[in-house]
Structure 1
Amino acid sequence: MSMLAGVTLVASALLGVSPVSAAQLVDPSAEFGTDWHDPLTAAPPIDKPATKSCEVTVAEAQFRDFTPYRGTYMPPSGCGDRWSKVVLRLDGKVKGRQFDRLGYLHIGGVEIFRTSTPEPSPDGIQWSVEKDVTRYSDTFRQNRDVEMLIGNVVDDTYTGVLDIKATLTFYATEKSAEKSAEKSAEKSVANPGAKPAQKPAEQASTTTPDRVLTLRNGLLTTPRNSERIVAEVYATGSGGGCEEYWYLTVPTSAPYSCQADRGPYREVQIKVDGQLAGIAEPFPTVWTGGWSNPFLWYVIPGPRAFDIKPIEYDLTPFAGLLNDGRPHQLDVSVVGVPEGQTGWSTPVNVLVWQDAQRERVSGALTEVKAGDLANSSMYTPGSENRLDTEGGHRLTVAGYVDTSHGRVKTTVSRALANTSVHRWTDGENTDGLEATWIDDETVTVDGRGPARTTRTRRTYAMDGTTTLGADDRLRTVLTLGDRAGVVETRPGRRTAWSRFDDSYTGDATYTANVPRDQRHAVGTTRERYRLYGSSGCYDRSLTTVQGVLTQDRGRCRDS
């Protein structure tokens, strides 16, 4: 049996909740029942300013099919039009039986959120996701169309209706709060059990973009005074086929249920006017029905499963080219997908920072240097089939812009590497993968003052095996890792640093091919989320047994 069998689709999210007290923890039963703890993750809640806040409901709907919710967003009144922070919150509930489902939220055509859902218990579950969406402030300043969809199927078998509410909370700046006539009690939400931690560079920007743009028929037109340009791509393998599990595919020469020409290596590329502008490793998301074992994910989802982070590409070296006032072609493609086969969604937003002192910023692209793309797989047949894969790629792009504060040169270098070992028996009754992905990016900005270099090393890891025994007991043992290290330097010294590690381990067993109430499932899952650096630290661990939360521990140490 393939570990892919019996699983449809879905994606990810970040849930910030306070640690549970020891008095709230209960002893687990001998096996899963008809109810379990509501989904949660060990991720930190979003720090929120102690200023006046205004809440706007963006969408409220029950998703039963593939009909999108459509509405109108209107900016908040009473909190100004410049905000210190904007927080999106999704609240969901569902009961009965349902697969995991993938969803998105668009405001004014901008994708501000991509998520997936947990699978419910017969008695029902509730969950919440929060995301810092301050970077999209430009989108929120005027009335916009809203579109939200979490595609679902409800019938006699799959009964779970997804009841969803999405809100935006706007936190006024100190200046806006002072001007407001209304005096409201200030609220402060603390980061539970931890000192504030510096976020990895890819999770935070020093300033909010001036503009948030979308593509029109694949074309991008930037303001002529753009001095920094970043594209973000919400890349997900999806659609119910093998590209949901791209990391398990094998070349067509090997006997396996999911084949893909040259195997599992994937790379998300972005091009400007046909010229390679950025490369990245996609994150190997495991949805909440993944690895043929939903009992792994009922309470703790895999990393990013509720909050799908976009891939970011710094296109600033192309600003001199893009600032000519003409539309330019922006294309995103996924290397490794068989020709003519769908299965990837790659919506694009473009974030732009403008030079307020100039109507036109000129510049030039000075370097595009791409290495050869490596992608090789070696299949070894036997009582245990084996596929060894190695892939990788390098790209450096550089350019400059002449701004009101002088010439600024930006150099972006990215090096990708992937290794994996996939083992399976005939019939796929035993199926295992050990894989690592490394995405190493260095951005150097050389302009007024000393040059600043930021290096971000992202590492993704997957190590798991699913086994179906003669008694139809299916067991999955799986470890996942989402890690990043960030170091910022100026000549001769380190100015800031952070390390991030979101690690998941799970071991779950149930009887396959029987009705739900005869599965006799057991499972233990753990997550530890660590974030520490030059600004502090955060460290939280969760453990569940048979769907019962048995440990919720906050700890922190300076490192």
Structure 2
Amino acid sequence: MKRRIIMSMLAGATLVASTLLGAGPAHSAQAPAPSARTPAIAPAPSSQPADVPAEFGTDWHDPVTAAPPVTKPAGKSCEVTLAEARFRDFTPYKGTYSPPGGCGERWSKVVLRLDGKVKGRQYDRLGYVHVGGVEIFRTSTPQPSPDGIEWSVEKDVTRYSDTFRGGHDVEMLIGNVVDDTYTGVIDVRVTLTFYAGRQAAAPDRVLTLDGTSLTTPRNSERIVAEVYATGSGGGCEEYWYLTVPAAAPYSCQSDNGPYREVQIKVDGQLAGIAAPFPTVWTGGWSNPFLWYVVPGPRAFDIKPIEYDLTPFAGILNDGRPHRIEVSVVGVPEGQSGWSTPVNVLVWQDAKSAHVGGKLTTHKAGDLADSSTYTPGSEHRLDTEGGHRLTVAGHVDTSHGRVTTTVSRTLANTSTHRWTDGENVDALDAAWTDDETVTVDGRGGARTTRTERTYTMDGTTTLGAADRLRTVLTLGDRATVTESRGGRRTAWSRLDDTYTGDATYTANVPRDQRHAVGTTGERYRIHGSAGCYDRSLTTVQGVLTEERRGC
């Protein structure tokens, strides 16, 4: 049996077109907000052995993650329902949004919440929420138990406050298939909660593209594009990190290999590069038993890639439309499988009608992308890739000239090993995405350095009696350092690690799979703003241990 036949759990779910602590799935119990003096908390009592079944049954714990909840201000709040729908097919929910009454037009925070439930049998599906054409949320879903599950996700969406101040059309879709086999109807409700109070810092405008065309306000002094890039919808781009060149005997092939890079261009000129996050959906690695309770990092809250386009503000501010294009390096020509919707966040100079400027530096290194295939009883593909880009430009604002320099360096290494028939299939991969943004104007230079590292180390084996076992570790890490005049002013370090080991009998009816599995997640973040540390462990779908503390 070829493992790839059952690996894709998002087939047919094609999408139609923050801060580190700003978003995360909601939890069954609210974890404490990060605090510099958060005391260690004794571990929650472990379940007795009798509470853990010998194998997965027809029900398990509702999905939960170790990530922190969104912190919420005290005081008055107003709730608006954005969408309420039962998704059975690919028909989007369409509605309207009006700003809330009673909480003013300026908010200290805006929080999106999705509450969902599903039961029966269903694959994981992808979804989005658009307000006035702006994509404010992208998500995937858990796979249900026959008895049914419920889950919730929260996200800080304060950055879209400009959109929320006016009435707009709403569109939501979680593409789904319901028939005699896949019986799960995905029932969701999405709300926005507005917290009255002093207005939080947020962009002045949130823009979308007209096709590939963008016209910015002429007084824009900071411009950031965000791209919700996902490889999805079935097919090999759903697990692009496992693809191989055409010369290698493997079920997923591409022109060169697994190196992927998400690029954004302004009028045909390279303006930003980024490593896509290797999201694993809740059917990934051929083994849904890995994800029934604890999903992989970011699976329920798909974060956008951000590109600081401020060096191009002098070009974009001429009042004319400009071409903005997003592409994914490494995708075979003509092949679909990636969705890359774009929002553009703009900060304006209220005291200027026109902010002029100039792009002063553009240095793009050669893109490295090399894969070496070694045949044998165990086939092997070694890949190395990377790219560098530095852009700089200035804008002449009412408060003086401001120069922005953005440098980004990407690197990817991976070793992919497999046997004939893919009964053993293993990957050990790492991606780094290091970015430095320096803003030099009145008050001296301010620098933000972000070092991102994503890791994936896993093996799937199909052994005797069709017992399929997957052992997998995923890592999502980031270090952020802010400095002014060469002195550090703030810092944070994130380490979100998932581990799983699950086995089941393949090619049999669901009730004969005799599945067992242990999964866990530890989410740690600490820095100048405080500390948060939470760990979860599950066995056969039972949450057996929860630890909190710093």
TM-score grouping bracket, smaller chain normalisation: over 0.9
Runs of 5+ unmatched residues, structure 1? 176-205
The reply on whether 1:73 has 2:73 as its aligned counterpart is no
Distance 1:263 1:494, change over 3 A: same
Give the alignment of 1:105-116 within 5 angstroms: 105-116=129-140
The reply on whether 1:331 has 2:341 as its aligned counterpart is no
Matched residue, 1:173 = 197
Give the alignment of 1:381-460 within 5 angstroms: 381-460=375-454
Matched residue, 1:346 = 340
Please report how far the alpha carbon of residue 493 of structure 1 lies from its aligned counterpart in structure 2 after TM superposition. 1.3
Give the alignment of 1:254-333 within 5 angstroms: 254-333=248-327
Give the alignment of 1:463-542 within 5 angstroms: 463-542=457-536
Please report how far the alpha carbon of residue 535 of structure 1 lies from its aligned counterpart in structure 2 after TM superposition. 1.2
Matched residue, 1:96 = 120
SS, match of residue 5 in structure 1 = helix
Matched residue, 1:8 = 9
Instruction: Return the alpha-carbon distance in structure 1 between the equivalents of residues 79 and 3 of structure 2.
Output: 43
Task: Indicate the larger mover: 49-58 or 26-35.
Answer: 26-35
Instruction: Return the alpha-carbon distance in structure 1 between the equivalents of residues 319 and 106 of structure 2.
Output: 27
Does the 8 Å contact 2:24/2:70 carry over to 1? Answer: no
Give the alignment of 1:156-235 within 5 angstroms: 156-174=180-198, 207-235=201-229
Matched residue, 2:20 = none
Please report how far the alpha carbon of residue 2 of structure 1 lies from its aligned counterpart in structure 2 after TM superposition. 4.2
Deviations 1:190-245 (A, max 9, x none): xxxxxxxxxxxxxxxx8200000000021000000000000000000012110000
Instruction: Return the alpha-carbon distance in structure 2 between the equivalents of residues 219 and 2 of structure 1.
Output: 44
Does the 8 Å contact 2:499/2:520 carry over to 1? Answer: yes
Instruction: Return the alpha-carbon distance in structure 1 between the equivalents of residues 388 and 486 of structure 2.
Output: 26
Please report how far the alpha carbon of residue 28 of structure 1 lies from its aligned counterpart in structure 2 after TM superposition. 1.1
The runs of at least 4 consecutive aligned structure 1 residues that moved more than 6 Å come to: 10-13
Does the 8 Å contact 1:59/1:165 carry over to 2? Answer: yes
Matched residue, 2:66 = 42
Instruction: Return the alpha-carbon distance in structure 1 between the equivalents of residues 75 and 329 of structure 2.
Output: 46
Distance 1:305 1:24, change over 3 A: same
Aligned residues: 526
Q: Which amino acid aligns with 2:90?
A: F
Deviations 1:46-103 (A, max 9, x none): 1100021000000000000000000000110000001000000000000000000000
SS, match of residue 395 in structure 2 = strand
Instruction: Return the alpha-carbon distance in structure 1 between the equivalents of residues 301 and 14 of structure 2.
Output: 8
Instruction: Return the alpha-carbon distance in structure 2 between the equivalents of residues 231 and 113 of structure 1.
Output: 15
Matched residue, 1:127 = 151
Q: Which amino acid aligns with 1:549?
A: L
Runs of 5+ unmatched residues, structure 2? 16-22, 32-42
Please report how far the alpha carbon of residue 16 of structure 1 lies from its aligned counterpart in structure 2 after TM superposition. 2.7
TM-score by length of structure 2 reads 0.94
Please report how far the alpha carbon of residue 3 of structure 1 lies from its aligned counterpart in structure 2 after TM superposition. 4.0
Does the 8 Å contact 2:95/2:169 carry over to 1? Answer: yes
Q: Choose the corresponding residue for 1:31, options 13, 32, 55.
A: 55
Does the 8 Å contact 1:414/1:442 carry over to 2? Answer: yes
Q: Percent identity?
A: 80
Distance 1:138 1:64, change over 3 A: same
Q: Choose the corresponding residue for 1:60, options 59, 84, 108.
A: 84
Does the 8 Å contact 1:525/1:544 carry over to 2? Answer: yes
Matched residue, 1:188 = none
Does the 8 Å contact 2:107/2:198 carry over to 1? Answer: no
Instruction: Return the alpha-carbon distance in structure 2 between the equivalents of residues 24 and 132 of structure 1.
Output: 32
Q: Which amino acid aligns with 1:528?
A: R
Does the 8 Å contact 1:11/1:306 carry over to 2? Answer: no
